[in-house]
Amino acid sequence: MDTAININFDVTPSQMKTIELRVVENGFNDVVSYVKVVALMVQKFAVTSVDQSTEESSIELSFSVTQAQKAKIDENMEVSGCKDLTTYLQYVALHSVVSAVVEVRSTGGLDDMLKRISDSRRPKNLKRLF
């Protein structure tokens, strides 16, 4: 059985505000789900800027993964050139999911994308009464 591994990292209050915006923009229900998805699914990237804030990283974010998921996160971190897990997680939480989600949802035309979104929100297995 694959045991759960807890991953923790800290962010500043202003980083947390940005992360919360990314959560809403990309249709996630909570920060934990969002961070876990971006940590696992984001494509290779290069860190383009480092937050030079004087704020203290005082908000801890935590999520659990399986050993296989942890291995995938470590692989993503290495191919992206991040030296440590905290840097990787902060960067993807702040920046990466937007491009990953847009890339997935924008295949085809606008009408196709809107139809897929509409279809995904429609209840399944509705029976006609008449």
What 3 state SS string does the chain have?
CCCCEEEEEEECHHHHHHHHHHHHHCCCCCHHHHHHHHHHHCCCCCCCCCCCCCCCCCEEEEEEECHHHHHHHHHHHHHCCCCCHHHHHHHHHHHHHHHHHHHHHCCCCHHHHHHHHHHHHCCCCCCCCC
On whether residue 13 sits in a domain, the answer given is: yes
On whether residue 126 sits in a domain, the answer given is: no
Interatomic CA distance for residues 73 and 35, integer angstroms = 11
On whether residue 40 sits in a domain, the answer given is: yes
Answering whether pTM is above 0.85, one says: no
On whether residue 127 sits in a domain, the answer given is: no
On whether residue 128 sits in a domain, the answer given is: no
Interatomic CA distance for residues 56 and 47, integer angstroms = 21
On whether residue 101 sits in a domain, the answer given is: yes
Query: Both tokens of residue 108?
Result: 């085809």
Give the count of domains, the chain.
1
pLDDT in tens, 47-65: 776 556 788 888 999 999 9
On whether residue 130 sits in a domain, the answer given is: no
pLDDT in tens, 2-61: 688 999 999 999 999 999 998 888 888 889 988 998 898 888 877 776 556 788 888 999
On whether residue 129 sits in a domain, the answer given is: no
Range of the domain at 20: 5-121
pLDDT in tens, 72-94: 999 999 998 888 999 899 989 98
